[in-house]
């Protein structure tokens, strides 16, 4: 297939310019005729459709879901809605992906089948719910639910980023103060006192100051090496599993992280189960979004227990990851046959708790960095005052 640029006229005689992917000129004419456009001139740009890899961000997925839901609910066909969507896209890579999807759907393929051929472009939950919507004839409703879900997810992510601004500023300020004190201020006092008369702390601080000035590249290399080593270790499944487990067992911090996981799991379960997917598939997809390898491993046992006939609430309770109130909520939903509704209400509650948990986690970082800054300045003063006092004694 090639790409064509064209000039056409609509039913009112208005000139329309654009581009389209088509097999040949006849195919181009047929496609434009469906949109009541009549070709007056065209040019074959060649090149076909590039296989562009692009991963849509949460905000983009929410926008795409909302646009498709609005257009299909208004009576437009999915093919027409996809064409409008790709035509309005400004990002070239995203446009290429959407154009490719549009072309495949226009050929008669199911939207979900096309999405399955592009792993990683859209989230798994998006693909699963689109498939469920097509199977049940409620695609517009599913797209609306997806839009709400990803809008909330984007809102939570933005809150977390906003909350991290102040701690990051404190961290940068801390590093700047330490570097300034030990490279610009402390050396001025070192010349005021003989080295043999300095206290052990003053000698140690002067040695650190000299190394920071003359061998600064060593510190850069060490820091980069530590970061690279940690990144490589975290890619090792065993190390990542252990780190994720420790995260949940840190006093106070672990409980807050578990609350964030609960909100994410509840919302995903509510959407997927409400879409009509099987329980096991819902759990597997919901827990994969959490992004904790330890939780994912524990939920392998949950899936196995459910396959053996155990209730979801009992199986989840055994993991000890989520609090008892959440498992009780699941039990009520199972008994009443309204699990998707109950999970939806639980998700609203735990999402609010997750927002508060993020604020608390960030709040814990602020006093920690202030304490570190205080210790650094305190050590500096403790090493500087003997030198200052010694120089004043010598002058006297």
Bigger pLDDT: 276 vs 391: 276
Please state the rounded mean pLDDT for residues 274-285.
83
State the DSSP H helix or E strand holding residue 20, giving kind and residue range, or none if neither.
Answer: strand 15-22
| Per-residue confidence (pLDDT) for residue 394, from 0 to 100 | 55
pLDDT in tens, 93-137: 888 889 889 888 888 888 988 888 887 888 888 888 888 888 888
211 phi and psi angles, rounded to 5 deg = -65, -35
The pLDDT value given to residue 50: 44
The stretch 13-40 carries a mean pLDDT of 77
Taking only the tens place, the pLDDT of each residue in 135-148 is 888 888 888 888 88
Per-residue model confidence (pLDDT) at position 390:
61
- Averaged pLDDT score across all residues of the chain: 83
Query: Token pair for residue 2?
Result: 């090639």
Per-residue pLDDT tens for 280-318?
Answer: 888 888 887 787 889 888 988 888 998 888 888 999 988
| pLDDT in the model for residue 261 | 87
225: which residues sit within 8 A by CB, 6+ positions away? none
Phi then psi dihedrals of residue 55, to 5 deg: -105, 115
Q: What percent of the chain has pLDDT over 90?
A: 4
Q: Is residue 34 a contact partner of residue 7, using CB atoms and an 8 Å limit?
A: no
Q: Is the pLDDT of residue 187 over 90?
A: no
pLDDT in tens, 224-251: 999 999 888 888 888 888 988 898 888 8
The more confident residue out of 24 and 335 is 335
pLDDT at residue 61 is higher than 60: yes
Is the pLDDT at 154 greater than 80, yes or no? yes
For residue 391, what pLDDT is reported?
59
Structure tokens at 29: 């004419």
Q: Which two tokens stand for residue 333?
A: 């939903």
**Residue 364: count of CB within 10 angstroms of its CB:** 13
- Residue indicated by tokens 């199911």: 110
- Write down the pTM of the prediction: 0.66
> Is the per-residue pLDDT at 180 higher than 50?
yes
Residues 6+ apart with CB under 8 A from 36: 10, 11
H-assigned helices in 181-252: 186-190, 200-214, 216-235, 237-249
Whether residue 76 is predicted with pLDDT greater than 90 in this model: the reply is: no
Whole-number pLDDT of residue 49:
45
Taking 80 as the threshold, does the pLDDT of residue 203 lie above it? yes
CA 326 to chain centre: 24
Whether residue 348 is predicted with pLDDT greater than 50 in this model: the reply is yes
Phi, psi of 86 (to 5 degrees): -70, -30
Beta partners for residue 16, in sequence order: 8
Cβ atoms 390, 193 nearer than 8 A = yes
> Helix, strand or coil for residue 17?
strand
Buried b (16+ CB within 10 A) or exposed e, 76-103: eebbbbbbebbeebeeeebbbbbbbbbb
């Amino acid at each position: 297939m090639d790409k064509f640029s064209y000039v056409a006229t609509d039913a009112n005689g208005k000139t329309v310019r654009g581009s389209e992917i088509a097999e040949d000129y006849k195919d181009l004419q047929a496609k434009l005729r469906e949109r009541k456009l009549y070709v007056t001139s065209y040019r074959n740009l060649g090149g076909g459709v590039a296989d562009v890899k692009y991963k849509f961000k949460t905000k983009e997925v929410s926008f795409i879901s909302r646009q498709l839901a609005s257009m299909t609910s208004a009576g437009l066909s999915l093919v027409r809605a996809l064409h409008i969507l790709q035509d309005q896209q400004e990002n070239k890579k995203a446009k290429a992906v959407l154009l490719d999807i549009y072309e495949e759907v226009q050929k008669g393929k199911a939207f979900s089948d096309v999405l399955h051929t592009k792993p990683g472009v859209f989230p798994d939950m998006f693909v699963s719910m689109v498939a469920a919507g097509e199977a049940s004839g409620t695609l517009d409703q599913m797209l609306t639910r997806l839009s709400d879900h990803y809008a909330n997810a984007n809102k939570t992510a933005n809150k977390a980023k906003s909350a991290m601004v102040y701690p990051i500023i404190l961290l940068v300020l801390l590093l700047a103060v330490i570097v300034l004190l030990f490279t610009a201020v402390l050396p001025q006092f070192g010349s005021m006192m003989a080295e043999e008369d300095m206290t052990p702390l003053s000698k140690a601080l002067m040695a650190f100051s000299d190394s920071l000035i003359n061998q600064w590249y060593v510190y850069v290399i060490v820091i980069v090496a530590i970061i690279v080593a940690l990144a490589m270790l975290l890619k090792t499944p065993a190390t990542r599993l252990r780190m994720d487990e420790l995260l949940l067992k840190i006093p106070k911090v672990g409980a807050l992280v578990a609350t964030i996981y609960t909100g994410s799991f509840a919302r995903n379960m509510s959407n997927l189960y409400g879409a009509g997917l099987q329980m096991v598939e819902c759990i597997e997809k919901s827990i994969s979004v959490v992004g904790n390898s330890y939780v994912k491993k524990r939920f392998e046992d949950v899936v196995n227990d459910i396959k053996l006939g155990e209730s979801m609430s009992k199986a989840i309770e055994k993991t000890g990851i989520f609090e008892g109130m959440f498992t009780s909520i699941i039990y009520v939903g199972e008994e009443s046959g309204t699990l998707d509704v109950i999970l939806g209400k639980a998700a609203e509650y735990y999402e609010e708790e997750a927002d508060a948990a993020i604020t608390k986690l960030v709040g814990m970082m602020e006093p920690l960095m202030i304490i570190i800054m205080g210790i650094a300045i305190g050590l500096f003063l403790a090493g500087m005052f003997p030198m200052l006092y010694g120089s004043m004694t010598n002058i006297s």
